[in-house]
């Protein structure tokens, strides 16, 4: 009888965990699906990149109301320079980044994921150079912006200051030692 009393709290805790829904928002679930795809290819997972997320959200807003037949080359999206400024991204830190967009009616999650993982976008998602991602959605559009860990693909406006600070620190240390 005593063993049943000890097992009862464990059983109740297990049941409550099973009944608790595992929730993720649409963007988190998409990133999780893409990372599962990448892991199946023996690639590292993509981490969330705030600047790439800002860029993806703003591009998705620009595509709002566009028909699915609209071609979405980043060079044809209006307002990209303003979007970069709004997201505090310098153009030098986006040259290795990549924007992918799909249009799926009502953004059905499985169809959106399939449009990224089972189309010509697959080769980009299999590219091990990409280490981060940002996701934006609007209407039927989903935009993914991939980033790298290189200065040219980091979407960082801080990278330049870090490198100059490093060189400044080294110069001061060299002068101090002499």
pLDDT tens-digit series, residues 91-117: 877 788 899 999 999 999 999 999 999
Q: pLDDT (tens digit, 9 = 90+) per residue, 1-45?
A: 555 545 445 444 445 444 445 567 899 999 999 999 999 999 999
Instruction: Burial-class residue 132 by CB neighbours within 10 Å (0-12, 13-18, 19+).
Output: buried
Our CA dihedral for 147, 54, 56, 165, rounded to 10 degrees, sits at -20
Is the predicted pLDDT of residue 165 greater than 80, yes or no? no
Which pairs with CB-CB distance under 8 Å and at least 24 residues apart come from 159-162? 159/93, 160/90, 160/92, 160/93
What is the C-alpha to C-alpha distance for residues 14 and 25, in angstroms, rounded to an integer? 24
pTM above 0.85, yes or no: no
What is the C-alpha to C-alpha distance for residues 144 and 50, in angstroms, rounded to an integer? 12
Question: Which runs of E-coded beta strand occur in the chain?
Answer: 47-48, 98-103, 130-138, 141-148
Number of H helices, E strands in the chain: 7, 4
Question: Do 52 and 145 contact (CB within 8 A), yes or no?
Answer: yes
User: Would the CA dihedral through 116, 31, 54, 148 be positive or negative?
Assistant: negative
Average pLDDT along the chain: 79
Tell me the range of 18-22, 65-69, 121-125 where mean pLDDT is highest: 121-125
DSSP string over 140-177? TEEEEEEEESSGGGS--SSHHHHHHHHHHHHHHHHHHH
Q: Which CATH superfamily is domain 23-177 in?
A: CAP (3.40.33.10)
Q: Which residues contact 106 (CB under 8 A, 6 or more apart)?
A: 140
């Amino acid at each position: 009888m005593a063993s049943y009393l000890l097992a009862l709290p464990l059983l109740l805790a297990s049941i409550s965990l099973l009944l608790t829904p595992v929730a993720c928002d649409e963007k988190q679930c998409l990133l999780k699906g893409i990372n599962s795809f990448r892991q199946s290819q023996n690639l590292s997972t993509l981490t969330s990149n705030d600047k790439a997320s800002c860029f993806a959200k703003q591009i998705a807003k620009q595509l709002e109301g566009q028909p699915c037949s609209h071609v979405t080359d980043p060079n044809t999206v209006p307002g990209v320079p303003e979007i970069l400024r709004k997201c505090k991204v310098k153009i030098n830190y986006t040259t290795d980044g990549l924007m992918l967009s799909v249009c799926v009616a009502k953004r059905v999650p499985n169809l959106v994921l399939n449009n990224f993982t089972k189309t010509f976008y697959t080769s980009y998602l299999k590219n091990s150079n990409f280490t981060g991602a940002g996701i934006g959605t609007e209407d039927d559009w989903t935009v993914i912006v991939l980033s790298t860990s290189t200065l040219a693909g980091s979407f960082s406006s801080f990278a330049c200051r870090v490198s100059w600070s490093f060189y400044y620190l080294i110069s001061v240390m060299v002068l101090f030692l002499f």
